[in-house]
Chain A
Amino acid sequence: MTSKRSRRKFLQAGTSLIALPLLESLGFQRSCSANNAVKPPKRVVFLGIGYGVTQETWFPNVIDQGENYMLPAGLAPLARHKSDFTIVQGLTNKYTEEAHWGSTFWLTGANRFEAGAAFHNSISVDQVAAGVLGKETRFASLQLNGSDHDIAANGHGPGLSLAWDVRGKPVAGLNKPLAAYHRMFSTDTTPIEQRQEMLRQKRSVLDAVLGDAKDIQRHISKNDNAKLDEYFQGIRDIETTLTKEEQWQNIPKSTARFVAPSSSLSGIDEVKLMYDLIVAAFQTDCTRVLTYRQPISTLLASLGIRVAPHDMSHYAPGERMEASQKRDLVQSQLLASLIDQLKETREADGSSLFDNTCVVFGSNIRNVHYLDNCPTILTGGGAGVKLGQHMVVAKDTPLCNAWLTLLHGLGVNVPRHGDSTGVIKELLA
């Protein structure tokens, strides 16, 4: 049991006000009643599916807009939540030209060739959100990945997760549910003094390599220095993490509702478990920003589908289209049960996790080689999006306009994101 003293110390360490539900999740007794409880924090999660959906059976008819649209077959498992999600058509990342990169620019909207670069990217929307929403949690954001071996073959494109940092460099992700579980919930039983000693030791390691980097820096060209800067940034990032770890070291990690997952899960079971972990992460407030780059080849394999991911995406009537449709259905089922879980999970003020979370599901790829009309499902009350809608925005509206709208809804008031030209007013409730 954590003492009052350490709680105060912790509060002093943080720079901003700590919301109550957070404290509750840390094992403190709730000290105020529900009616004057602080509003629960806002969270956001992006679920990227790489290769797109089945055009014919996933999108509602474009002339059938508004609330009373007919749910297409591919979304049928979501019927029970129909009034709680919005599907948007017409969004596009205008610079994207790579027909097999469903994730690389999905959340960034960057121009790959900007300034004549062979490869250029910019910050992803989740990282922009993490800059604000991540201040009060143990992890500013967490990146989850499917455990597929070959990401390139699954329509995700280059990247280490869905996230790209402020310099447009890839952010690493956790590739297995077990790794994610340990990051979020494994309790360090080492005594505090020893942990402080370990932190100190880590710092001396960082200090040493940083010294070496500075020595090298003096002797190399400007161009090479730009490269070495990645190393410096990496070390600085660890220092930031250590500082945060220090602030949090008196506070035990929250306990998950379930035991550590098996390390051999893959395919549909892996997605289910990752969804459980996403809910648990939000519930325990260990982070408020998550991305999940989903598996495809292992998902198909677990469904007994022999078709390779690329062939599934480039479907034609017959076995391949059936594979694509089957995947759509399973994805919709999984999403529907994620929504169930979010709705069932209560916050301290009596609202549900669903009310305070924004869930984004989609990809930069529509289907086959089409990069326009990126499939987009928005659900949850976190970003104040108008739910229950089938909305068709003006053709080629920047996908980043949707991201900007979500950011504002989450309380992250940046003027623009990627190639955004403004918020999408129709999306606002």
Chain B
Amino acid sequence: MSIRPDVIQCRLVICVTLFLVCQPACSAETDSPASLNEHHKSLLQDYCLKCHNTEKPEGKFRVDTLPFEISDNESAERWQKVLNALNSGSMPPQDEAQPANTAKTDFLDDLTNVMTAVRRNLRDQHGVITMRRLNRREYGNSLRELLGVQIDVSELPADTGNGGFDTSGSNLFMSSDQFEQYHALGLEAIAESFERVTHASSNNKQRFEAEDIVDRVKSNLSNRIELRRKYNIWTKAIDAAADRPENQAIAAEIRKGLTNQPPWNFYHSWQKLKNVPSPTEFGFADGEHATHEGISAWNLLPYQAYFLSQPEVKNGAFLTIRDNGVNPLHYFGIGGWPSGECIVRIRIAATKQATPARRFVEFGVQSTHLSTHEVSGTMDVPQVIEIPFNLTKSRGGSFFIREKGTFDSNEQGHRVFAEGEKQNGIGPEFALWVDWTEVERKTIPEQLIPPGIRALGIPLGDDAAAMTKDDVRAALDRFITETCRGNPASSTFLDKLVNIYDERGKSGSGHGSALKETLAVVLASPRFLYLVEQAGDQESRELNGLELATRLSFFLWGAPPDKPLRDLATSDELLKPHVLLEQTDRLIDDPRSTGFVIPFTDQWLGMDRLDFFRFNNVRYPAFDESTKMAARNEVYETVGYLLGHNESLRHLLKSDFVVINSLLANYYGIEGVKGDAYQKVAVPNGLPRGGLLGMAAILAMGSNGEQTSPVERGAWVLRKLMNDPPPPAPANVPQISRLQNKLLTTRERLRAHQEEAQCASCHRKIDPVGLALENFNAVGQWRTEDTYEAVGLGKKTWTIDPAGSFHHGPSFTSFFELREVIASKSDSFARGFSIAILEYALGRPRSFRDEPLIEQMVNQTRQKDFAMREFIKVLVGSNEFRSK
């Protein structure tokens, strides 16, 4: 089977990540002035001007008047035409003289970079920050902070993928549909919050003994034996009928059509035979159903019998694999509880047969896998795993637990089962044993009543006594000030809201319902949805305390400011530089800073790519969903660790430690790591981990789930680590298909990129870097050999040679040497990081005007060895951050 490209597509992979490419944050390198080097004039002179000149220019296009300094749209469009014509190979025409390959490559290289700069210049917002609405995650976080609820906001537009961070105001649109969604979600949030608070003292608890499933397994087993008996009778009757003279020809005909199919499919065609009994007479819906019960399910019988024969099922149960009759997903559920914070407890143990890789249990709700936990308990001393769970109306309380990597898909379940069955004729050995599971809903103490509800300060129930308009009005006023980040409502807005409350009451709603409806309107109002910063007399002004607090908390938490921050804001204390920096530290130290670390890291590094494809779990069984989840978290956790401990940004380029948990330690082959928490672990000698380039998630992003993509990886390194991004993928570049149907190594195949100037101008920089990472396979595991196999061509295996050199730069012979070169350029990395963080925090693409600030961020942090918090502090203290 061929699963590798047989044809090289120029820039194929750069464009895979177009979303990353065009993030302004990243398309930002060298501030090449938007002018083209004069030395290219000779190329235009020699190959273009003959036709595109003063007199009757061909295609009405004059090259002689093209300005080398590109400062307006019109010139940009003209140069774009030149670039398009060269990229598509349509100019110079085939029968005309062609420029030398290197000259053309250099010209294309320069022109492409200049055009990228031109586009950036032309759209420069001159530092103006567009007022923006809350993006999807900020909206969800705000509801959480203000009302204590977790609402599923996934129906709202994602606000990503527009070529910038999701904080970029000019990309955050609003539409009528969205308004209605906000209104509906707001109502849901209020209702949920009311329910939590009115049931604040409700303490529910329920335990499920795992052995309760044993009876189910027993009855299932006898049921299967009975169905098998009936199946045998039915199929024997058909066999007998098929042998009769009137059926022989028909049976032969049916069998002819069944080549390469299992023999029992013969019975599916029972209707074609004469005088045979129908499967319905035996309790089967049809022939296929009979096969399922008589053959497929029957195969599981030894496994079930084995399960029942274990003494440990007297007071517990094993987590089995695939078989629905037992418990591939051990279900337990609660119903009718009010929403609220719960704890799920699992008393569990790993059996003696459990290999290290099988000592993990997955937990989820409905069909969504939420988390994975290490099982360290033994059959002698089981452990209790505690998992916090936020019970909401929308996701309900149907839970499951299952062994890691056994049921990401039905296909995987079958494979894992078959592997076990192959070894012992029964099925996989049992690795995990469960004593019981338990769910408890906690009471909500007075001090944890969410601020939005606390601000209301009035009863919430329908049964509350009628309230005066003034009381309602005052409550709404407090609610708006709280939820709209200290921005009080106008009296006309309050009047209208009181009216709505009143109308709802008149049309039959009780107090609580009318109040919910009214509050939902607030949560769909522009005062709540937009981060309003009032205009001053001048074009730019300093932010006031509340505005600064809001900007700071949405930057570092993705959520509204809390009370301490708001208090400092209203007293103007926050405007003092040292207070602002203290608060910056406090916000970073708060757990809510994951509201910055995760979305920023994810978008900065383009990690959405990890979800673009399914990883082939036959080729890479170890990279299951739990591992993928853990690998993704490693990136976030590492950035979070560096920020939390104010360690150097350089650790992302190269580090002697990793931040991992036991699951990833198992994947990386690092011993002695325990628990689900991510922790700092020293990298054992010789292991290629430490830094982004050693992370499974980053390496897996540079693949397509089947095989590595050196181009994708190389472009990512240039873009993210070296701040030297290749330009976005140009359209209409010709495809090179000369190498199709040849058995070649990856390196040989990529060599084709150097043949055409259109390709070489970028790939001479990209490919060597990507090839140096070939020692990592598609899921980030180390390898020394690679194989290519294609139908009709055969198979080729080779030893990976990572050696190469940077374009105009140092050479390297191994991954480790490549990493040294990259790590030595921490200034470039710091610059790219500064730009990204600036754009994320300010919600706009960087501008020319930001150049001094970017310089300052790099220079000042360099004094402190690029300590992570320093970047944030220089930025937060800057005029750009503190003014509108």
Chain A residues with a Cβ under 8 A of chain B: 96-100, 113-119, 149-153, 158, 160, 169-172, 197, 201, 204-205, 207-209, 211-213, 215-216, 219-224, 227-228, 230-231, 233-235, 237-238, 241, 306, 308, 310-311, 314, 316-320, 368-372
Contact = CB atoms under 8 A, between A and B. Distances in A.
Contacts of B534: 219-220
A113 B123 contact: yes
A89 B110 CA distance: 34
Contact of A208 (B164, B500, B733): B500
Contacts of A98: 18, 22, 728, 731
B608 A197 contact: no
A116 B19 contact: no
Given A212-B526, A308-B704, A369-B729, A220 B735 contact: no
Interface string B497-528: 10110011001000000000000010011110
Given A197-B507, A215-B490, A224-B535, A310 B612 contact: yes
A316 B9 contact: yes
A340 B492 CA distance: 58
A374 B57 CA distance: 28
Contacts of A152: 19, 161, 608
Given A98-B18, A158-B161, A369-B729, A306 B614 contact: yes
A115 B122 CA distance: 8
Contact of B173 (A230, A311, A368): A230
A387 to B, nearest CB: 30
A303 to B, nearest CB: 14
B859 interface: no
Given A215-B492, A234-B176, 14 more contacts: A100-B729, A160-B175, A212-B490, A212-B525, A220-B535, A224-B130, A224-B533, A231-B133, A234-B175, A316-B6, A316-B9, A318-B790, A368-B9, A372-B88
Contacts of B504: 201
A188 to B, nearest CB: 16
The 4 closest A-B pairs by CB, nearest first: A316-B7, A116-B122, A224-B131, A172-B177
Contacts of B533: 220, 224
18 contacts: A98-B22, A100-B18, A170-B175, A209-B526, A211-B492, A213-B526, A215-B493, A220-B534, A221-B131, A230-B173, A237-B176, A238-B179, A306-B614, A310-B612, A314-B12, A317-B7, A369-B11, A369-B732
Given A216-B532, A314-B9, A314-B12, A369 B733 contact: yes
Contacts of A216: 526-527, 530, 532
Most A CB within 10 A of own CB, among B1, B5, B178: B5
Contacts of A204: 496, 499-500, 503
B270 to A, nearest CB: 28
B741 interface: yes
Nearest to B844: A118
Most B CB within 10 A of own CB, among A117, A207, A317: A317
Interface in B173-191: 173-180, 183
A150 B526 contact: no
Interface string B100-142: 0000000000000000000100111000101111000000000
A119 B12 CA distance: 24
B15 interface: yes
Contacts of A215: 490, 492-493
B248 interface: no
Most B CB within 10 A of own CB, among A115, A209, A228, A311: A209
A319 B731 contact: no
Contacts of B740: 316-317
A212 B493 contact: yes
Contacts of A96: 731
Interface in B141-194: 157, 161-164, 169-171, 173-180, 183
Contact of A227 (B22, B131, B180): B131
Interface string B737-778: 100110000000000000000000000000000000000000
B822 interface: no
B634 to A, nearest CB: 22
A373 to B, nearest CB: 10
A220 B504 CA distance: 33
Contact of B493 (A153, A211, A372): A211
Given A231-B530, A310-B612, A113 B178 contact: no
Contacts of B131: 220-221, 223-224, 227-228
Contact of A316 (B179, B612, B737): B737
Most A CB within 10 A of own CB, among B131, B529, B533, B741: B131
B16 interface: yes
B525 A99 contact: no
Given A314-B12, A317-B7, A227 B616 contact: no
B79 to A, nearest CB: 12
A119 B733 CA distance: 23
B18 A99 contact: yes
A308 B612 contact: yes
A151 B18 CA distance: 13
A204 B527 CA distance: 17
A307 to B, nearest CB: 8
Interface string B40-73: 0000000000000000000000000000000001
B550 to A, nearest CB: 14
Nearest to B76: A113
Contact of A219 (B1, B5, B535, B733): B535
Interface in B693-744: 704-706, 728-733, 735, 737, 740-741
A228 B526 contact: yes
Interface in B4-36: 4-7, 9, 11-12, 15-16, 18-19, 22, 24
Nearest to B176: A237
A151 to B, nearest CB: 7
A316 B161 contact: no
B176 A208 contact: no
B175 A153 contact: no
Interface string B275-315: 00000000000000000000000000000000000000000
B752 to A, nearest CB: 12
A97 B730 contact: yes
Given A204-B500, A368-B9, A231 B526 contact: yes
Contacts of A368: 9, 735
Interface string B196-231: 000000000000000000000000000000000000
A158 B526 contact: no
B731 A369 contact: yes
Given A204-B496, A212-B490, A172 B503 contact: no
B487 to A, nearest CB: 9
B611 interface: yes
B394 interface: no
Contacts of A223: 128, 130-131
Contact of A308 (B22, B705, B728, B741): B705
Contact of A118 (B164, B180, B532): B164
A231 B174 contact: yes
A233 B7 CA distance: 49
Given A113-B123, A201-B503, A306-B616, A169 B731 contact: no
Contacts of A319: 1-3
Nearest to A223: B128
B191 to A, nearest CB: 16
Nearest to B163: A119
A320 B5 contact: yes
B460 interface: no
B82 interface: no
A209 B521 contact: yes
B369 to A, nearest CB: 16
Contacts of B173: 169-170, 230
B491 to A, nearest CB: 10
A64 B706 CA distance: 40
Contacts of B499: 204, 208
B547 to A, nearest CB: 12
Given A118-B123, A205-B500, A317-B740, A99 B177 contact: no
